[in-house]
Amino acid sequence: MCGIIGYTGPRAATPLLLESLRRLEYRGYDSAGVAVLDAMTTSVTVVKSERKVDELARKLDEVGMPAGHVGIGHTRWATHGRPTVLNAHPHMDCTGRIHLIHNGIIENYRELRAQLEAKGHELPSETDTEVVPHLIEDCYRGNLESAVRHALSRVDGAYALVVIHADEPDTVVAARLNAPLVLGLGNAETFISSDITALIPYTKRVMVLGEGEVAEARAGVVTVRSLDGTVVEPRIITVDWDAEQAQRGGYPHFMLKEIHEQPQALRQTLRDRVDPDTGLVRLAGLEIDDGVLAGVREVHVVACGTAYYAGMATAHAIETLARIPARVSAASEFRYADPLVDATTLVVAISQSGETADTLAAVREARRRGAPVLAVTNVVGSAINHEADGVILMQAGPEIAVASTKCFLAQLVCGVLLALYLAELRSALPVEELRALAAETLELPDKVEGALQLEPQVAELAQRLAHLRNAMYIGRGANVVTAFEGALKLKEVSYVHAEGYAAGELKHGPIALLDPDTPVVAVATRSATLAKTVSNVQEVNARMAPVVAVVTAGENPFDDMAADILEVPAVRELLSPVVNVVPLQLLAYHIAVQRGCDVDQPRNLAKSVTVE
Q: Which amino acid is at 380?
A: V
Number of residues near ligand AGP (by CB under 6 A): 16
Helix (H) or strand (E) segment spanning residue 112: helix 109-118
**Residue 78 or 302 with smaller CB distance to ligand AGP:** 302
3-state secondary structure 295-351: HCCEEEEEECHHHHHHHHHHHHHHHHHHCCCEEEEEHHHHCCCCCCCCCCEEEEEEE
- Using alpha carbons, select from 263, 293, 514 the residue that is nearest to residue 413: 263
CA distance 400 to 216: 29
CA distance 288 to 478: 28
In the bound complex, what is the minimum distance in angstroms from residue 409's beta carbon to ligand AGP?
Answer: 12
- If one asks whether residue 609 binds ligand AGP (CB under 6 A), the answer comes out as yes
Residue 134 CB neighbours (<10 A): 26
**Residue 168 or 358 with smaller CB distance to ligand AGP:** 358
The secondary structure of 420-437 as a DSSP string is HHHHHHTT-S-HHHHHHH
Phi, psi of 276 (to 5 degrees): -65, -25
- If one asks whether residue 20 binds ligand AGP (CB under 6 A), the answer comes out as no
Pairing of strands 373-377, 345-351: parallel
In the bound complex, what is the minimum distance in angstroms from residue 109's beta carbon to ligand AGP?
Answer: 25
**Residue 345 or 351 with smaller CB distance to ligand AGP:** 351
Residues of this chain, 299-338, that bind ligand AGP according to CB under 6 A: 304-307
Q: Which residue is nearest to ligand AGP (CB)?
A: 305
**Residue 536 or 608 with smaller CB distance to ligand AGP:** 608
Residues of this chain, 118-177, that bind ligand AGP according to CB under 6 A: none
Residues of this chain, 201-230, that bind ligand AGP according to CB under 6 A: none
In the bound complex, what is the minimum distance in angstroms from residue 348's beta carbon to ligand AGP?
Answer: 13
Catalytically annotated residue among 2, 139, 304, 407: 2
| Binding map of ligand AGP across residues 255-294, x = CB under 6 A, - = no contact | ----------------------------------------
In the bound complex, what is the minimum distance in angstroms from residue 358's beta carbon to ligand AGP?
Answer: 8
**Residue 163 or 414 with smaller CB distance to ligand AGP:** 414
CA distance 268 to 55: 38
In the bound complex, what is the minimum distance in angstroms from residue 356's beta carbon to ligand AGP?
Answer: 3
Instruction: Give the binding range for ligand AGP (CB under 6 A) out of 206-214, 255-263, 400-408, 585-593.
Output: 400-408
CA distance 384 to 211: 12
Cis before residue 90, ω within 30 degrees of 0?
yes
In the bound complex, what is the minimum distance in angstroms from residue 608's beta carbon to ligand AGP?
Answer: 5
The secondary structure of 595-607 as a DSSP string is TT--SSS-TT--S
**Residue 144 or 328 with smaller CB distance to ligand AGP:** 328
- If one asks whether residue 404 binds ligand AGP (CB under 6 A), the answer comes out as yes
Kindly list the strands in the beta sheet with 373-377, ordered across the sheet, starting from the edge strand earlier in the chain: 326-330, 298-303, 345-351, 373-377, 390-393
Are 102 and 160 within 8 A, CB to CB? Answer: yes
Cite the beta strand spans of 221-285 per DSSP E: 221-226, 235-238
User: Applying CB under 6 A, which of residues 403, 438, 547, 586 lies at the interface with ligand AGP?
Assistant: 403
Cite the beta strand spans of 448-581 per DSSP E: 470-475, 497-502, 520-523, 547-552, 564-568
Residue 205 CB neighbours (<10 A): 14
User: Applying CB under 6 A, which of residues 13, 270, 348, 402 lies at the interface with ligand AGP?
Assistant: 402
**Residue 359 or 529 with smaller CB distance to ligand AGP:** 359
In the bound complex, what is the minimum distance in angstroms from residue 406's beta carbon to ligand AGP?
Answer: 11
**Residue 14 or 356 with smaller CB distance to ligand AGP:** 356
In the bound complex, what is the minimum distance in angstroms from residue 361's beta carbon to ligand AGP?
Answer: 12
CA distance 486 to 515: 20
Residues of this chain, 38-77, that bind ligand AGP according to CB under 6 A: none
User: Applying CB under 6 A, which of residues 25, 389, 492, 567 lies at the interface with ligand AGP?
Assistant: 492
In the bound complex, what is the minimum distance in angstroms from residue 14's beta carbon to ligand AGP?
Answer: 31
**Residue 121 or 489 with smaller CB distance to ligand AGP:** 489
Query: Burial of 358 by CB count in 10 Å (0-12 exposed, 13-18 middle, 19+ buried)?
Result: buried
CA distance 176 to 213: 6
Instruction: Give the binding range for ligand AGP (CB under 6 A) out of 35-43, 235-243, 281-289, 604-612.
Output: 604-612
Annotation says 139 is catalytic: no
Instruction: Give the binding range for ligand AGP (CB under 6 A) out of 298-306, 333-341, 435-443, 532-540.
Output: 298-306
Bridge-partner residues for 547, per DSSP? 520
In the bound complex, what is the minimum distance in angstroms from residue 589's beta carbon to ligand AGP?
Answer: 12
In the bound complex, what is the minimum distance in angstroms from residue 351's beta carbon to ligand AGP?
Answer: 3
**Residue 376 or 514 with smaller CB distance to ligand AGP:** 376
| Binding map of ligand AGP across residues 346-385, x = CB under 6 A, - = no contact | -----xxx--x--x--------------------------
Query: Burial of 64 by CB count in 10 Å (0-12 exposed, 13-18 middle, 19+ buried)?
Result: exposed
Residue 500 CB neighbours (<10 A): 25
Annotation says 2 is catalytic: yes
**Residue 404 or 479 with smaller CB distance to ligand AGP:** 404
Angle, helix 444-452 to helix 262-270, in steps of 10 degrees = 170
CA distance 481 to 578: 10
Instruction: Say whether 195 sits in a helix, a strand or coil.
Output: coil
| Binding map of ligand AGP across residues 76-115, x = CB under 6 A, - = no contact | ----------------------------------------
CA distances to 184, 187, 196, 458, 500 from 488, in Å? 35, 44, 27, 17, 8
Residues assigned a catalytic role: 2, 607
Interacting residue ranges for ligand AGP, rule: CB under 6 A? 304-307, 351-353, 356, 359, 402-404, 492, 605, 608-609
